């Protein structure tokens, strides 16, 4: 999904934690929908878009996750969107969008994404991490990093609440926060620590498996190597891999991927994939390992390897009857 979305207002409000201590600065105006609304029945400056726009309607309704109210987006078209914030980009910062949503309708999906515009307000690209349909339970978390580094012409960043297809999506507790961006030499992966989530999934990893393989990939909070979550695969077949976002390759540089693996059953490895635009060429791969304790793997791509590859991606894989966790992937170039 790569959609051109129009947005409105910039705003800042403070968030507080236990005892009123400052935790973060939320760049979303009225992201909990509890404050006064504008003339269109939405938070002041927020806008509705869609394809076609008349197929969708947005309104603030009773039934919030933490308060009394939430935002409802419903309709029956290709996509509907509520454009939230327009924020001037500071390249020294890394932005994170966070919120909760529920989806209704068998053919509906929902997500939160970033749009980027240039200094004239023209759309230059989007970052999205996929969408989810109706799922078990109630509210589902989305917590995603921006990828403004992929769009050097971008001057502003926008957060969008999206409904795909026919149905209804309800959003609440929408946040946009900014923190000092890590140096690119530290980690080229936006979500190598597996902390950014899309519902029950780890954001930014797309799974695949051999024909007939039956595997499930999910976020797990069971004893991650670091932080609050890790990436988990369980199932049976020959293999199943989860491929991260592609990264433009720089000629003459050596790329090193490290990652932590814990294998309850089966085997696992990590690898660097080489791509020519969107076409997969080949990979360099670590050894296959087993073992119940966390262990670190490393694989290196030197400048002479996969010479036709213009893009790279980090990938993790479980083999056989696999029950495997992955955490703290780091891709560096020097």
Q: Does residue 20 register a pLDDT over 70?
A: no
* Residue 13 phi, psi dihedral angles, 5° rounding: -145, 155
- Using DSSP's 3-state secondary structure scheme, residue 307 falls into coil
Q: Are 160 and 84 in contact (CB under 8 A)?
A: yes
Q: Which residue has the higher pLDDT, 54 or 10?
A: 54
Per-residue confidence (pLDDT) for residue 137, from 0 to 100: 76
Question: What mean pLDDT, rounded, does the chain reach?
Answer: 90
Helix or strand holding residue 241 (H, E): strand 239-244
Q: pLDDT band for 85, please (50, 70, 90 cuts).
A: confident
**Pairing mode, strands 247-248 and 279-285:** unpaired
Q: pLDDT band for 134, please (50, 70, 90 cuts).
A: very high
Per-residue confidence (pLDDT) for residue 136, from 0 to 100: 78
Per-residue confidence (pLDDT) for residue 39, from 0 to 100: 81
Query: How do residues 34-45 score in pLDDT, each as one tens digit?
Result: 999 988 899 887
Per-residue confidence (pLDDT) for residue 294, from 0 to 100: 98
Q: Are 80 and 131 in contact (CB under 8 A)?
A: no
CA–chain centroid gap for 67, Å, is 25
Task: Tell me if the bond preceding 219 is cis, omega within 30° of 0.
Answer: no
Q: Are 322 and 217 in contact (CB under 8 A)?
A: no
Q: pLDDT band for 300, please (50, 70, 90 cuts).
A: very high
Domains delineated in the chain: 13-180 (2.60.120.260), 197-333 (2.60.120.260)
Q: Does residue 177 register a pLDDT over 80?
A: yes
Using a 10 angstrom Cβ sphere, with 0-12 exposed, 13-18 middle and 19 or more buried, the burial of residue 118 is middle
- Using DSSP's 3-state secondary structure scheme, residue 53 falls into helix
- Using DSSP's 3-state secondary structure scheme, residue 54 falls into helix
Q: How far apart are CA 82 and CA 160, in angstroms?
A: 6
Beta bridge partners of 205: 244
Per-residue confidence (pLDDT) for residue 9, from 0 to 100: 29
Per-residue confidence (pLDDT) for residue 13, from 0 to 100: 31
Query: How do residues 93-111 score in pLDDT, each as one tens digit?
Result: 989 999 999 999 999 999 9
From the DSSP assignment, how many helices (H) and strands (E) are in the chain?
0, 21
Q: pLDDT band for 183, please (50, 70, 90 cuts).
A: low
Lowest-pLDDT choice from 70-74, 170-174, 275-279: 275-279
Q: Is the dihedral angle over the CA atoms 68, 69, 74, 79 positive or is it negative?
A: negative
Q: Are 73 and 54 in contact (CB under 8 A)?
A: no
Task: With CA atoms as reference, report the closest residue to 112 among 163, 173, 66, 60.
Answer: 163
């Amino acid at each position: 999904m790569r959609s051109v979305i129009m947005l409105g207002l910039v705003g800042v409000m403070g968030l507080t934690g236990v005892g009123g201590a400052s935790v973060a600065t939320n760049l979303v105006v009225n992201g909990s929908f509890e404050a006064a609304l504008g003339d269109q029945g939405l938070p002041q400056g927020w806008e509705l878009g869609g394809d076609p726009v008349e197929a969708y309607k947005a309104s603030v309704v009773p039934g919030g996750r933490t308060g009394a109210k939430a935002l409802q987006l419903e309709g029956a078209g290709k996509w509907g969107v509520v454009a939230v914030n327009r924020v001037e980009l500071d390249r020294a910062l890394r932005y994170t969008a966070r919120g909760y949503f529920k989806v209704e309708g068998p053919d509906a999906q929902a997500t939160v994404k970033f749009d980027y515009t240039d200094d004239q307000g023209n759309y230059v690209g989007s970052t999205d991490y996929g969408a989810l349909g109706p799922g078990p339970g109630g509210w589902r978390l989305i917590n995603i990093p921006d990828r403004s580094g992929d769009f050097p012409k971008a001057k502003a960043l926008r957060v969008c609440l999206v409904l795909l297809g026919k149905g209804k999506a309800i959003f609440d507790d929408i946040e946009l926060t900014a923190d000092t961006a890590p140096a690119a030499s530290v980690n080229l992966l936006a979500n190598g620590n597996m902390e950014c989530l899309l519902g029950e999934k780890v954001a930014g990893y797309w799974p695949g498996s051999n024909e007939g393989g039956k595997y499930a990939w999910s976020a797990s909070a069971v004893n991650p190597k670091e932080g609050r979550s890790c990436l988990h695969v369980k199932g049976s077949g020959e293999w199943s891999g989860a491929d991260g976002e592609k990264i433009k390759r720089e000629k003459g540089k050596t790329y090193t991927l490290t990652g932590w693996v814990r294998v309850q059953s089966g085997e696992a490895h990590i690898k660097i994939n080489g791509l020519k635009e969107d076409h997969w060429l080949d990979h360099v791969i670590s050894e296959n390992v087993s073992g119940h304790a966390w262990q670190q793997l490393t694989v290196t791509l030197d400048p002479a390897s996969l010479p036709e590859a213009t893009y790279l991606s980090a990938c993790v894989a479980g083999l056989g009857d696999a029950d495997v966790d992955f955490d703290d992937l780091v891709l560096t170039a020097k």
